Chain A
Amino acid sequence: MAASQAMFAGRFLWPQYEASQTANIRRKKIDKNGAMGSLGESGMISKEFLTDVSWNRKDLTCIEDLSLREINEVFALADIFKTSLKEDGSKLPYLKGKTVVNLFFEPSTRTRTAFEMAAHKLGADVISVAAASSSSVKGETFKDTAKNIEALMSDMIIVRHSSSGAAKYLAERLRIPVINAGDGAHAHPTQALLDTFTMRERFGGDFKGKKVTILGDILFSRVARSNIHALNKLGASVTLAGPSTLVPLDFEKMGVKVCYDLAEAIRDADVVMLLRIQHERQSDTHFPSISEYANVFGLSRQREGLLKENAIIMHPGPINRGVELDSYLADSGRSVILNQVTNGVAVRMAVMKLCMDAALRGK
């Protein structure tokens, strides 16, 4: 028993992570009866895993703050949760008795649902508040709205807001964990974690030498910014491509390459991540028209020939089919777009558990 425990713990020596270990973890089950760290014959989350994590932050507001080790801890825990979800959809007890509030000041389907799902799967109660139905329309400040939700004895806030820095702003002012579900054009850390988690499944865990091209509206994209930070930390090389008005050279200071030639940008990429062109926002002055965009930067079926044989296509959604991405390609074997969505639940479960544990330890 002691030996098996040690062996199991040994598989979580971070930050090194070997692809072959993934399979081993997947055979393990999680103790549904709850006690954190209890270890049955079939294997559950190990005690070492739960006590030796370096993650000690109650909030996740941006990727910049995370160490490589913390990112790998999210991945490892998400592996376990993904296996558990796949093999047995019933709830885990890690957030049992907790109330998670989704506070969304911007519209969202995918992200909000994924957080709700993740919270449910961890046994939490979930309440979703949309800005249109909140007191913010009566002039209440963002801080007061959040403080009131905290005062209602909620245990965690998932926040999406149109202002860059809004999640950090809240995290600094609340005692309970705050997880950023998107703040303005700044950060969308769980999206980057689920994106890199999805890439990792393809790469077998090793990002070194892998090239990821992010194509589209980078300037207004929180997804791009968070992915840049995550991929930099994981050791992949990042190329940004798109119209020069939406991909300013200032981004090179973040340690990435900027390329305005689509063919060159995608030719040797292992991953092409497409971003939605938000035509309601940029078509005014940033590029001439949607059809011009599709012509110059759309990933069309013809351009598929430029891609490496095993290159994958990603997109955080929602897709504008026929604009940034050809409909056929979106549904092809290269596309891992729906895997991203599925992984979003396990990754968010991992983040929520890590933040909640840290908050409880901090009490």
Chain B
Amino acid sequence: MKEFIVKNARVIDPSQDIDEIRSVMVAGGRFVESVSDKAEVIDASGKILAPGLVDMHVHLREPGQTAKESIATGTAAAAAGGFTSVMAMPNTTPPVDSPATYRLVSEIIAETANVKVYQSAAITEGRKGEKLAPLGSLKKLGVRAITDDGSCIQNVDIMRNAMIYAKMFGLFVMDHCQENTLTKSGQMHEGEWSARLGLGGWPSAAEDIIVSRDIILAHYTQSHIHLQHISSALSVDIIRAAKKRGISVSAEATPHHLAFTDEALKDYDSNYKMCPPLRTRADADALAEGVIDGTIEVIATDHAPHTSTEKDMPFDQTPFGITGFETAFSVCHEILVRSGKITMPKLIRLMSTRPAELLNINAGTLKPGTPADFVLIDEDAEYVYSHPVSRSENSPWLNKKLKARVVETYLDGKRIFKAE
């Protein structure tokens, strides 16, 4: 049974309100309260030790889209970004909407994953928004959360029944908020820049309408709804008001929606194209406000790899999505912590503790007895993000200089990543 003790690090654990220089002890792959004299000593002076990051919104593309990514490569990229637990979206080919596909994916995860992968399932068959998937059977196999991510159930009655039915099994319901009739030719945020660039608009109203609908349904069905990748200022206000009223709702934001605005598309660079789209300065500022005041509880990457061939096309022919695992921490540290908007413990809560709590998984904490998933962070590090671990390189941060990074990632007490 391997034992070690990490000394002199600034230890941050939002689950226990810890932020101090202390030692963290590991034995048998778990955090423990004491180790023997034979334990190996790791000196982590100058580093931050925090729970492994948890990303509740990722696309690993397997099965069916392994030219973009695989469970093996995607989770290697996750480890390189400090993520030890990730929730994979079900929009694979075929989609994870049945016990058969869930079993297949579970097998691949068991054989090839480099971090802990929680596979979510589709809410409806084929993610078509027409007929509920066999949610009870999927729950029995271990599914924790459901979403039609990439698509949004348009039929309100089906969404209502999905929420009521899922509640019976304790399934966590997540929604990609997009009203389709408003976005049918949408390539980017509808506004000044879509007018300038002659690109079809994806208006913030399309998100706001579904956010409102889902909140109304959560209230009506007395169930919880998790709203994925929120991008619009009005949506943040609506979620804030709903929470104040006691409606059970949670929401996530991505690093890119916090970091960029629609002006970034001015050169038609498809590495700024994602769904929902980058919006205005006011929207990005409102998202940051939501993160600061707790309206937005989670930062998730929406890691969405696509091949260079797919992304290297005329703009409207390119797919939506960018990668995020390997840059998320640096980017969020820069725009939220370095800028003084939030503290490091708050960032760890957003990127680890809170998503783990929402998904009810044994992560996001350094409590003795839990798996020793943790990261060492160097806040002063500077590096160029140049050779992605991910199979894809569709990142707006590719070849850009970034600051602060996860330098070591441990999973169950084993080091699975060390920065060069």
Contact = CB atoms under 8 A, between A and B. Distances in A.
A116 B268 CA distance: 29
Contacts of B316: 162-164, 184
A185 B267 contact: no
B191 A141 contact: no
Given A168-B267, A168-B268, A169-B268, A250 B195 contact: yes
Interface residues of A, number: 24
Interface string B315-326: 111000000000
Contacts of B194: 250
Q: Which 3 A-B pairs have the closest CB atoms?
A: A185-B198, A165-B268, A163-B314
A164 B196 CA distance: 10
A165 B315 contact: yes
Interface residues of B, number: 19
Interface in B289-335: 309, 312-317
Contacts of B317: 142, 163
A183 B198 CA distance: 9
Interface of A: 141-143, 161-166, 168-169, 183-187, 219, 222, 225, 248, 250-251, 253-254
10 contacts: A141-B313, A164-B187, A164-B315, A166-B314, A169-B314, A184-B198, A186-B197, A253-B195, A253-B196, A254-B195
Interface of A is mostly: mixed
Given A141-B313, A184-B316, 20 more contacts: A141-B309, A142-B314, A142-B317, A161-B314, A162-B316, A163-B316, A164-B197, A165-B199, A165-B314, A169-B315, A184-B199, A185-B199, A186-B199, A187-B198, A219-B195, A250-B195, A251-B195, A253-B192, A253-B195, A254-B196
Contacts of A164: 187, 197-199, 268, 315-316
Nearest to A229: B196
A280 B37 CA distance: 80
Contact of B191 (A168, A222, A250): A250
A222 B309 CA distance: 27
A143 B316 CA distance: 14
Interface string B65-99: 00000000000000000000000000000000000
Nearest to A186: B198
Most chain A beta-carbon contacts within 10 A, residue among B190, B192, B199, B314:
B314
Given A187-B198, A225-B198, A142 B313 contact: yes
Contacts of A143: 312-313
Contacts of B198: 164, 183-187, 222, 225
A123 B313 CA distance: 33
A164 B315 CA distance: 7
Contacts of A169: 268, 314-315
Contacts of A141: 309, 313
Contacts of A165: 197, 199, 268, 314-315
Most chain B beta-carbon contacts within 10 A, residue among A142, A161, A250:
A250
Contacts of A251: 195
A165 B193 CA distance: 13
A104 to B, nearest CB: 14
Interface in B176-215: 187, 190-192, 194-199
Interface in B79-131: none
A50 to B, nearest CB: 32
B315 A163 contact: yes
A253 B199 CA distance: 16
Contacts of A250: 190-192, 194-195
A184 B196 CA distance: 12
B214 to A, nearest CB: 25
Nearest to A161: B314
Contacts of B267: 168
A164 B195 CA distance: 11
A172 to B, nearest CB: 9
A128 B277 CA distance: 37
Contacts of B309: 141
A162 B190 CA distance: 19
A244 B315 CA distance: 27
A162 B316 CA distance: 9
